[in-house]
Structure 1
Amino acid sequence: MTVVVVTGGTRGIGAGLVREFLTRDCQVVYCGRSLPAGSADPRSLGVVADVTDRAAVRQLWDSAIAAFGRVDIWVNNAGVSTARKPLWELPPDELDAVVDVNLRGLAHASAVVVAAMRAQGHGALWNMEGFGSGNQKAPGLAAYGMTKRAVTYLTDALAKELGKDSPVTVAHLSPGMVVTDLLSRDYTPEEFAKAKKIFNILADKVETVTPWLADRVLKGVPNGGRVAWLTTPKAFGRFATAAFRRRDLFA
């Protein structure tokens, strides 16, 4: 069985990926700052871990090794967003939290995982992109977007450091616009009514996106590669056919 670790695997896209990897007969270790009721599936293991703590990430790796003997795939999915406010109105603790989890935590985890995979002789690390990774900009998302832009740079830099012949690979995982609590928070009713029109064109539900992502992750890509659900041609196609497609993802 393929052994997969998913950080931030207790909710949203992370929980969807855990579910899909298990469906594909993988052994899965996942973490969160807290855990839901235990799974009866002997192929899964939940671990309480704070990804901003390098020692906790190392313990997560060690827990996976103790349970299943190796780690074939690691998905750095853990992430948070902030209130949808201009940077100058954002509380300092929210700015610190989004940078700590989305960037500093991901960098610490990447360092731990790449070193450990090199020691075991193989493995694939996937870093989760998001709004801002493709240089998108929107009011109220400066802090979140800058961290995701940095994640893209960091992933490319790690791939270059490993080199093209490395048995350990680092790649980008881009889920597109997915309906989770991060997508729809902090809108006034009037703002959400406007935003929902775009969401219903471009967004998808977790259960739509994660099966495809899981299949592509298991298939693998070359070092530095990318798996992206919502490509530019797909987005243009959705806008072109929006008048003929009746979607309400929030019904």
Structure 2
Amino acid sequence: MKILKVVNEDPDLPNFSWSTLRKVIKYLNFKYVTKSRQSILIDRQDIILWRQRYLRKIKEIRKEGRYIYYQDETWINEGHAPKKAWIDQTVVSSRQAFLDGLTTGLKQPSGKGKRLIIGHIGGEEGFVEDSLLIFEAKKNKEDYHQEMNADSFEKWFKGVLPKLKPNSVVVMDNAPYHSRKLESLPTMSWTKPRIQEWLTSKNISFEATMVKATLIDIVRQHKQEHCDKYVVD
């Protein structure tokens, strides 16, 4: 009953009866069991916080009546094919199929083949017309995110923007190519004079005798003020 209490005290969630909450938990494939000494997988606190922020923001946007688009990428191999298919059992040989003017069907691909990267954007009304992004992967690596870069994504996204509804919202994940900053933030790889120059350009006070680590700490303190804008914004 502790779960029910926590859920019903959360202002961002509807109130549930115990029977309804139990059905929801079962639907999510959770099972109430006696705990063993084995560790139980739970979300990290930062992930929980991010999820709560997202849900609150989405709830706020929906109340405002704004249209929401969702954007993402995925991949598919040229050799992708279903494992099962319907077959005509009256055809028992390739010769019979030939004589009957039929074929024996598509052959199962022998390998994965080329990999295609696919991106799209859409909402409750469907995908945005003429906005499919698709190209052949070059590296063919396990992680398809390595095939995309900020320049390619931003070029595609700029072409999509005019097709979206006014005052709408786009939901996307935080892949590196989605979140390129308008301005780079100084790091320890920068030279000390370069960091000092950046601080001076932002009218941020520092002492000339400060070591690089201290300067970087000052940069972090002002991060939100000066480096919170993204190219796709």
Q: Tell me which interval the TM-score lies in, with the shorter structure as reference length.
A: under 0.3
Work out which of the two has the higher radius of gyration on C-alpha atoms and give 1 or 2: 2
Higher helix proportion: 1
The normalised TM-score by structure 1 is 0.22
The normalised TM-score by structure 2 is 0.23
